[in-house]
Amino acid sequence: MSHATAILDPRLAVSDIDRRIFGGFVEHLGRHIYDGIHEPAHPTADADGFRADVVELVRELGVSSIRYPGGNFVSNYRWEDGIGPRDERPRRLDLAWHSTETNEVGLHEFARWLELVGSELMLAVNLGTRGTAEALDLLEYANADADTTWTRQRAANGRPAPFGVGMWCLGNEMDGPWQVGHRNADDYGKLASQTAKAMRMLDPGIELVVCGSSSSGMPTFGSWERTVLEHTFDDVDFISCHSYYQERFGDAQEFLASGVDMSRFIASVVSIADAVAATKKSDKRIMISFDEWNVWYLHNDEGGQDDKPLEPGWPVAPRLLEDQYNAMDAVVFGDLLITLLQHSDRVRSASLAQLVNVIAPIMTEPGGPAWRQTTFFPFSLTSRLAGERAIRVPVESGTFTSERFGEVATVNAVATLDDDGVTLFVVNRSTTDAESLRVDVAAVAASFGRDLGIVETHLLHDDDRYAANTLADPERVGVVPVPDAQVVDGSLQLSLPPISWAAVRLA
């Protein structure tokens, strides 16, 4: 067993935490909407066709806001197709996922579902095949309280009051050649600036997200951000980051360093945004909306994953991107959440991509059960236990050598503080060694003026790192209390098995 030490001191505050960091993402993709959240024939379905068992799991997950309706889907989407009487809505071909979109679920239905799960709506506009005029139409329909043709139509469709959508994405992954209507940075930046200015004329209170690179691995990464922000700096509040991680070629140790990659990605985008601010002699700070992140097996060892239906033609709700997550995936996932909290001063919004069936923490079977994947647990626990302020937790631990990142700390941690106590989130990235961790909590105890005690602990680990929850065995992997956690003489002491994630609440 290796030995690590850490300090938990409220003077090492990072920032207050914007609860939108615990956001999600729902796209019209595969079985996410249809046969996922919406299945009218399911025994638990309500009058709108939404599965009550899925609603309960999304509530438990604790998702604060949800980005909708895409994703790649939005770049060929006509939002008007999803309003009005359902039996009159058109069926369309979705070019992104080679499927047929029935438009049974649109803005009104999805907003009602959000009320059930307790999440806010974050809308994306189509800047692929459409532009400023269509974005203004959607904004007027959703948010205007004047008497107009669009607001009368909204009322006729059952919603007299505005939806009041506060956060809007100016397209999706517009640097990607796979994106319908993709553009170079200069052209996209001009369109995004024009659209943002017009949208603010209609609703000055909205927050706007401009597209950053689709990933840090894009050939144009860096130059894209700089050019786009030079056009849009005065018009937007956020720039997006997207990143997905997976174990490649059986290299578990490299996979467990994924949080380092995310951290460097964030730091790079922040540096570029602040450099643009400097050239403009501005004190404004562009924040980050990390509105797509997850473990996603985009590429298997043979070189690819099907992202188009196996069925011929253009099927409705085919099974696409239904990754099965294992215990190690969940540990990496928990480390990514730690990383987001460590950067909460600039990451003010984030969206787990996605929520149900499609690279998701929740899986469903048509007519059957819904269950939690392994990644469900670190998200639901972090969302529930995270306090109001993020605290840096300096850790002294062993290291391992990463081919990409050099020497990487074996133990990574962050804490959150509120008026009632403190929560520590910690991960052991080692594939071989357990870690004995001692955390000095004297300073945080002094800030409360009394000793701290353990309220609850949670450990995610499995001796079989590839163990997963499936339809046949939906509870194979879960969380258990940390068996040896204790506070002794001003120190929190606990042991972390190899490849493990833990949360400890002190009060």
- Per-residue model confidence (pLDDT) at position 340: 98
CA 290 to chain centre: 7
Q: What is the pLDDT of residues 21-38, one digit of tens each?
A: 999 999 999 999 999 999
Which residue from 397, 402, 434 is spatially nearest to 412, judged by alpha carbons? 397
- Catalytic machinery residues: 173, 292
- Per-residue model confidence (pLDDT) at position 311: 87
Question: Which DSSP string corresponds to 388-421?
Answer: SEEEE--EE--EEEETTTEEEESEEEEEEE-SS-
The proportion of the chain whose per-residue pLDDT surpasses 90, expressed as a percent, equals 96
User: Which pair of structure tokens corresponds to residue 384?
Assistant: 């529930």
Q: What is the pLDDT of residues 299-309, one digit of tens each?
A: 765 444 567 89
In sequence order, which ranges of 218-321 are alpha helices (DSSP H)? 223-232, 252-255, 258-279
Instruction: Provide the mean pLDDT of the chain.
Output: 97
Q: What is the pLDDT of residues 407-416, one digit of tens each?
A: 999 999 999 9
Which residue is associated with the tokens 């985008």? Answer: 269
Number of H helices, E strands in the chain: 11, 26
Q: What share of the chain is helix, strand, coil (3-state, %, to 5)?
A: 30, 25, 45
| C-alpha to C-alpha distance for 380 and 135, rounded to whole angstroms | 34
- List all residues 6 or more positions away from 393 whose beta carbon is below 8 Å from its beta carbon: 6, 7, 8, 12, 413, 414, 415, 424, 426, 439
The pTM (predicted TM-score) of the whole model is 0.97
- Per-residue model confidence (pLDDT) at position 302: 47
- Per-residue model confidence (pLDDT) at position 303: 46
Q: What is the average per-residue pLDDT within 92-110?
A: 98
Q: What is the pLDDT of residues 283-302, one digit of tens each?
A: 999 999 999 999 999 876 54
The residue count of the chain comes to 507
- Per-residue model confidence (pLDDT) at position 306: 64
DSSP character at residue 89: P
**Angle in degrees, 0-180, between the axes of helices 327-342 and 376-385, rounded to the nearest 10:** 30
Q: What is the pLDDT of residues 450-498, one digit of tens each?
A: 999 999 999 999 999 999 999 999 999 999 999 999 999 999 999 999 9
Label residue 1 by pLDDT band (50, 70, 90): confident
DSSP character at residue 324: P
| Complete domains list, the chain, with CATH | 2-8+392-506 (2.60.40.1180), 18-385 (3.20.20.80)
In sequence order, which ranges of 247-350 are alpha helices (DSSP H)? 252-255, 258-279, 327-342
**Strand-pair category, 422-428 with 500-506:** antiparallel
Is the alpha carbon torsion for 481, 332, 214, 180 positive or negative? negative
- List all residues 6 or more positions away from 446 whose beta carbon is below 8 Å from its beta carbon: none
**Taking 70 as the threshold, does the pLDDT of residue 102 lie above it?**
yes
- List all residues 6 or more positions away from 115 whose beta carbon is below 8 Å from its beta carbon: none
Inter-residue contact 76 to 84 (CB < 8 Å): no
Label residue 144 by pLDDT band (50, 70, 90): very high
- Per-residue model confidence (pLDDT) at position 300: 64
